[in-house]
C-alpha cells in the first residue's frame, strides 16, 4: 500500500467511487465525516482526548450518519500511546454508513502543543 493525500470533493467529502450511491440528502449528510475529522485536527493541539471529544460533538449534531468507528492511531495505524508526547504524529480514522453506503476517511494529526 502506498500512502497518498486524500483527494476531496469541493464539499469536503473524500473522493470515492462509493459516493455515486448517495442521493442528494445523503451526500449532504456524508460531509459530516470530513467535518468530524477537521474538528479533531483543530483540537488535537489540546491532546488526543479533546480531539476525539470535538469529533464526537460534530457527529452528535449530524443526522443520518451511523458510526462504525472513530479512533486515533499512529500514522502506521498502531494504537496511540495513552499519553502521547507533544508533537506526536497521529491519524484519525472514521468509518460510517450513510444510507446503505459505507464510507471511510482519515486525516493526519499532530497531538499536543510544541512550544
CATH of the domain at 34: 3.30.1300.10
Provide CB contacts within 8 A for 106, sequence distance 6+: 6, 37, 91, 92, 93, 94
Q: What pLDDT digit, counting tens, does each position of 52-109 carry?
A: 999 999 999 999 999 999 999 999 999 999 889 999 999 999 999 999 999 999 999 9
Asked if residue 74 lies in contact with residue 87, where contact means CB atoms within 8 angstroms, the answer is no
> Does some domain include residue 4?
no
Give the total number of structural domains in the chain: 1
Whether the pLDDT of residue 4 is over 90: the answer is no
Cell for 6? 486524500
Q: Name the pLDDT band for 1 (thresholds 50, 70, 90).
A: low
Residue that has been written with the C-alpha cell 485536527 in this structure: 41
Place of cell 476531496: 8
Q: Assess if residue 69 is contained within a domain.
A: yes
Is the pLDDT at 2 greater than 80? The verdict is no
Residue 57 lies in a domain: yes
Give the pLDDT confidence score for residue 3 in this predicted structure: 66
Q: pTM for this structure? A: 0.90
Order of strands across the sheet with 101-111?
Answer: 65-73, 88-98, 101-111
Mean pLDDT of 18-44: 96
pLDDT at 115: 62
**pLDDT value of residue 113:** 75
Q: Which domain holds residue 33?
A: 17-111
- In a domain, residue 2? The reply is no
Amino acid at each position: 500500500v502506498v500512502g497518498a493525500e486524500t483527494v476531496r470533493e469541493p464539499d469536503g467529502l473524500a473522493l470515492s467511487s462509493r459516493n455515486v450511491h448517495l442521493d442528494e440528502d445523503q451526500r449532504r449528510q456524508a460531509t459530516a465525516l470530513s467535518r468530524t475529522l477537521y474538528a479533531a485536527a483543530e483540537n488535537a493541539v489540546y491532546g488526543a482526548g479533546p480531539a476525539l471529544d470535538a469529533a464526537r460533538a460534530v457527529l452528535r449534531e449530524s443526522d443520518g450518519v451511523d458510526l462504525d468507528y472513530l479512533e486515533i492511531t499512529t500514522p502506521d495505524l498502531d494504537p496511540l500511546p495513552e499519553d502521547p508526547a507533544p508533537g506526536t504524529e497521529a491519524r484519525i480514522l472514521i468509518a460510517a454508513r450513510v444510507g446503505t453506503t459505507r464510507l471511510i476517511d482519515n486525516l493526519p494529526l499532530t497531538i499536543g502543543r510544541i512550544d
